[in-house]
Amino acid sequence: MPMKRESIRTPLWCAAVAIFCVLPSTGAIAQDIDKAIEAYNRDKLTEAAFSFYDVREHSTDPDARVKAEYYLAHSLFKAGYHIPAFQYYGEVFNAGEAHPYFLKATEGLLAVADTIQDDTFIPEVINRGYSQAFARLSSEQLNAINYTIGTVSFRHRNLGEAKQFLGAVPKDSPYYQRARYMLAIAAV
């Protein structure tokens, strides 16, 4: 299924990523997590993203860095830059359960997948990083993950695993009908 074009903002995220790559390190803004949080709270999301990026790259405070890693992705997502948000959520997610924002990044990946209607790339990332920690997510998010992993397993022809994950989606979930459809195809 082709992905929808995101909007006129698409070229802007390319420029934002290019600027992030060449952003000079300046002592005036480096390592200032409070400035980034303040910009985020005022909904100055692009400014916040730049500040979080700077903290991520230059801070010597490990707590500030992990917070900045997640909030960089979240700022980009809220600003409508979904593909860069996917990249940074993915970095936090790929760090695994040891990262304090692992579950938040999982939620972010699900939100990006839903927003851009991606049923290929993000589901593969989530499948590869499957964790028992997912049980701590909301039931709605857990159902989305079960459906997603069931679908990925089905595509990989791992029907036993697909049936387990798709069968775990309850009737009250918005994914129930789709899961049942996939189970019917698997049965054939």
Q: What proportions of the chain, in percent to the nearest 5, are helix, strand and coil?
A: 70, 0, 30
For residues 128-157, average pLDDT? 95
Instruction: Pick the more confident residue, 25 or 77.
Output: 77
Core vs surface per residue 25-49: b (16+ CB within 10 A) or e: eeeebebbbebbbebbeeebbebbb
Angle at 147 between CA 2 and CA 6, to 5 degrees: 30
| 14 pLDDT more than 90 | no
Note the pLDDT tens digit of each residue in 65-114: 999 999 999 999 999 999 999 999 999 999 999 999 999 999 999 999 99
Q: Could you read off the pLDDT of 54-63 as tens digits, one per residue?
A: 999 999 999 9
Average pLDDT (41-65) is 96
Residue 62 is predicted with a pLDDT of: 94
How far is the C-alpha of 43 from the C-alpha of 26, rounded, in Å?
23
Q: What is the mean pLDDT of residues 130-143?
A: 95
Question: With bands split at pLDDT 50, 70 and 90, how would you rate the model's confidence at 157?
Answer: very high
Torsion angle in degrees (nearest 10) through CA of 110, 115, 119, 123: -20
Res 27: pLDDT: 43
Q: Mean pLDDT score of the chain, rounded to an integer? A: 87
Whether 143 and 134 have beta carbons less than 8 Å apart is answered as no
Q: Among 184, 176, 167, 115, which Cα is nearest to 140's?
A: 176
> From CA 37, how far away is CA 44, in angstroms rounded?
10
Indicate the pTM of the whole model.
0.80
CA distance 19 to 151: 37
User: What amino acid occupies position 125?
Assistant: V
Q: Does the pLDDT value for residue 129 go beyond 90?
A: yes
The pLDDT value given to residue 187: 87
